[in-house]
Amino acid sequence: MMLIPCPHCGPRAHAEFTFDRPVEAITRPDETPDALVRNLFSRENPRGPSRELWRHTYGCRSWITLTRDTATHAITDVRPVGVGA
């Protein structure tokens, strides 16, 4: 079980959160079709630090980004997402 430090609520159990996607897979409407396909449907899938988008779904429901080591689950650099963040 990971302990994820939500920037709004403090450290909370990982069961309260849902993973969305690696930050590299966030797409924007002005991207070319090739870039969209690459970002949506292929991954670096690293073993080690990965920058990811998560959501505190069963807590404050805010989106957050964090860096998580996919081998050790060590979490660093948690940041809020959104206007004013």
Partner 1 sequence: MKYSALSLLRAGLGGHKDWPRAWRDPEPKPHYDVIIIGGGGHGLTTAFYLAAVHGVKKVAVLERGWIGGGNTGRNTTIVRSNYRLPELHALMELSLKRWEGMSDEINYNVMFSQRGALFLGHSDSDMLQLAQKGDAMRADGIDAELMTRDQVAKLIPLLDVSRTARYPVQGGLIQRRGGTARHDAVAWGYARAADRLGVDIIQNCEVTGMDITGGRITGVQTTRGPIGADRVGIAVAGNSGRVAAMAGLRLPIESHLLQAFVSEPVKPMIDTVIMTQSLHCYISQSDKGEIVLGGDPDAYPTYSQRGAPHIIEKAAAEALALVPALSRLRMLRSWAGTTDMSFDGSPFIDATPVEGLYFNGGWCYGGFKATPGSGWLFSHLLARGENHPVAAPFRLDRFETGRTMDEPGVGPMPQNR
**Contact indicator for 79, 64 with CB cutoff of 8 Å:** yes
- Binding to partner 1 by residue 47, rule CB under 8 A? yes
75 strand-pairing partners? 68
**Contact track, partner 1, 7-46, x by CB under 8 A:** ------xxx--xxxxx--------------xx-xxxxxxx
Give the count of residues interacting with partner 1 (CB under 8 A): 26
Alpha-carbon distance of 66 to 85, in angstroms, equals 14
Judged by the rule CB under 8 A, the positions of this chain that interact with partner 1 are 1-2, 13-15, 18-22, 37-38, 40-47, 50, 52, 70-73
